[in-house]
Amino acid sequence: MISQKKVWLLLKFTVALKLLWMISLLRCLNIRWDPSSVLGYRWLDYTDADCGPDNVCNCSAVLQGEREALEQAKLLTSTKDFQKSVQIPNEYYINVNLDCRKFKSSRKYLTFPLSREEEDFPLAYSMVVHHKVQNFEQLLRAIYAPQNIYCVHVDKKSEASVFSAISAITSCFPNIFMVSQAVSVVYAAWPRVQADLNCMADLYNAKTKWKYFINLCGQDFPLKTNLEIVRALQSLKGSNSLESEKLPENKQWRVSHAHQIVDGQIQPTENRKEPPPFNLSIMSGNAYIVVNRGYIRSVLEDNRILALIEWAKDTFSPDEFLWATIQRLPGVPGSKRPSPKYDMTDINAIARLVKWRLHEGEVYPECQGNHVRDICVYGAGDLQWLLQQHHLFANKFDTEAYPIAVYCLEKYLRHKALAELF
């Protein structure tokens, strides 16, 4: 007969074997062992052990704007060794679809809805990308939720490694797909709009009956968790949120003369354009919008909008007036009346925050990174201010130039999303 002591020793040995098996399994999945993960979601949070910049900088202090931490971030960002240590080469992503489970677990993608509220309010994203795969992947990871749906448009001119890497990433997820028809995007020309239009059509025809559409580029990043985004959109009560105001005199030339693409660049012609169809008032706005499903249906089916689209194809920077003009058309779901009283600036809209050099010191504080085409590329010193804003997304971020800004913001949002569970 087996003694009680032997039974106890056998039980302890069995438990020990199971623990060793769990630890080995977690190592295979590249998940750090944490006993609390058995009962909670701690394994989805970002920690110092995730080989990010937080190993050598204090994200909490950076987010609070502490001078010493910001100076350390600047110093680290300027060193080549640090820059090299936090960069992920395209080659890493190209073969991730060989083991999607490992990729999703090691990169800590959320594979289940964090709340019923979010599950019942799916979102649709259009993502137009042409380079910087790591930027794209960190953005995707930050906004990913299994109930949402994502259309990715990679510029046809992009390098083969960029296309291969992004294709591999998207193939790991049933709710992420490459656009059915890609175009060669030309800055400030019609193909930029066409890229979003193609994704709009694919998303609208998908099985997921999403509530709102949001379009992004590869250098955007969220300022809110998915739950916060859902609640912000619910509060719109069916309305849209995007910049839409009177077209200023200094931009009238964009729509008064025809333009054409020559050698990959948009150029004006001597031909004057006919007035817009249906005597529509052309409004000023930007390329990035937050609109409901009905707005997208109108873009794809409304005869007035289809005529406006044809008219706009030879204008300059049509993305900066088309959506804004549609937003003021009577009958478009979520739209506003054309009266100037309903004009909305980019500061008041929630779609996207951009810090323009021209308005620094007046509308918002000075850029703590650097400028590209007069737009601030955010540094770590911009984070405290960014998180005080009501916008859902901001532009521009760059994981190569300012990796700490992206990492600390991403870590903050993940920690906040998990904290909302309890």
Active-site residues, by number, are 320
The structure tokens listed for 8 are 């106890």
Is 279 buried (19+), middle (13-18) or exposed (0-12) by CB count in 10 A?
exposed
Pairing of strands 393-395, 353-354: parallel
Is 36 buried (19+), middle (13-18) or exposed (0-12) by CB count in 10 A?
exposed
CA distance 111 to 238: 28
**Secondary structure (DSSP) of 15-78:** HHHHHHHHHHHHHHTT----GGGGTSSGGGS--GGGSSGGGTS-HHHHHTT-HHHHHHHHHHHT
The structure tokens listed for 158 are 């992009």
End-to-end alpha carbon distance in the chain: 49
Closest by Cα among 353, 118, 112 to 232: 118
CA distance 151 to 164: 16
Is 310 buried (19+), middle (13-18) or exposed (0-12) by CB count in 10 A?
exposed
Closest by Cα among 88, 93, 86 to 162: 93
